[in-house]
Amino acid sequence: MELVCPAGNLPALNTALEAGADAVYLGFRDQTNARAFPGLNFTEAEIATGLRTAHDLGRKVYIALNTYPETARLAHWQRAVDRAADLGANAIIAADMAVLDYAAKRHPGLPRHLSVQGSATTAPALRYMHERFGIARAVLPRVLSLVQVERVCAASPVPLEAFAFGSLCIMVEGRCQLSSYVTGASPNRHGVCSPAQFVRWEEHGDGGRSVRLNGVLIDRFDAEEPAGYPTVCKGRFDVGGEVFHALEEPTSLNTLPILPKLHAAGVVALKIEGRQRGAAYIGQVTTTWRRAIDRLLAAPQDWQCREEWMAALGRHAEGHQTTLGPYHRAWH
């Protein structure tokens, strides 16, 4: 099983490789990728440096081009495909059919991975993307139960990658109507939930803080309360006089307890979410998953989910809590 880890900058890329990542995924410093935060992502020179480092170690680098261009801006995404091919990326991760079509025709030797944003949850959908655009791998959306993952793996014409750890999204993989409604900027087109230019923090006399998104109050934190990046879905709201996480509590997906089942199902790669996270997160999460995967491959019959692994991952989870999400869903 390939361990695919995030890199928002060169230090994070180096940390991931040192901690045992088989591959890293990253993006250009523009809206062609779904983590277009200010100060994040790579210049072409930085990608070239990262590629040399990874390839010297026998590892891979995937470039995410996973947003949806408007018609008038499609040429920008096409140039990004050209840049990825010229740099020598091991694959691109894309969702938009026009981007995949361009890559297949212009750079047939550049492997194409279907992004989770492509939302392919059935074997027929995967067959179509494989036959039409020659995808070499697909990333499964985080909406499938374990039984559904097993069934799709059994019928898929291409190898499948699944998310193993990181932030969850209650929308259809980034197609957030909440963020679009509040800011007018679509995460799928502009590459970021809660764009930084709309975020305003307010300090209070008691040491607490409030955060607004385009003027809308999203949350208020006490002086000692940790505050994550503000998104509408994970904010607290007054509903009927009660203030609580009305849509979703901050929590992280963690599939470590079902790692042997994902392996038995035929999942070929496990993806860690978090290109916006720091090197400490990258290092600890990658190290933990590396140990777990190696133990499983070495002695599958004796594998057990260790408490220290779960504790290490829990320290880097949103809200310091984790869930199996839809994986443990009983209905299909």
What number is the average pLDDT over the span 301-315?
A: 96
Whether 324 and 238 share a structural domain: no
Residues 113-127: tens digit of each pLDDT: 999 999 999 999 999
Domain interval for residue 209: 192-244
Confidence grade of residue 179 (pLDDT, cut at 50, 70, 90): confident
The reported pLDDT for the residue numbered 227 is 82
SS3 state of residue 322: strand
Same domain, 215 and 316: no
Tokens 């385009």 locate to 214
263 within a domain of the structure (yes/no): yes
CA dist 249 to 17, 64, 313, 321, Å? 31, 28, 17, 9
CA 243 to chain centre: 29
Same domain, 114 and 255: yes
Report yes or no: 289 and 256 within 8 Å, Cβ to Cβ: yes
Question: Do the domain assignments include residue 141?
Answer: yes
The tally of domains found in the chain comes to: 2
What single letter denotes the amino acid at residue 164?
A: A
Place of tokens 């994970």: 234
Give the CA distances from residue 282 to residues 70, 278, 296, in Å, rounded to whole numbers and listed in that order. 33, 6, 21
**Mean pLDDT calculated for residue range 293-314:** 96
Closest CA relative to residue 110, chosen from 129, 91, 95:
91
What integer pLDDT is reported at residue 332 of this predicted model? 67
On whether residue 297 sits in a domain, the answer given is yes
Same domain, 17 and 116: yes
Pair 15, 116 in one domain? yes
DSSP string, 270-316: EEE--TTS-HHHHHHHHHHHHHHHHHHHH-GGG----HHHHHHHHTT
User: Average of pLDDT values for 92-100?
Assistant: 97
Q: Are residues 85 and 114 in the same domain?
A: yes
With a cut of 90, say whether residue 168 has pLDDT above it. no
The answer to whether residue 270 scores a pLDDT higher than 90 is: yes
User: Is the domain of 127 the same as that of 235?
Assistant: no
Q: What is the pLDDT of residue 174?
A: 62
**Position 183 in a domain:** no
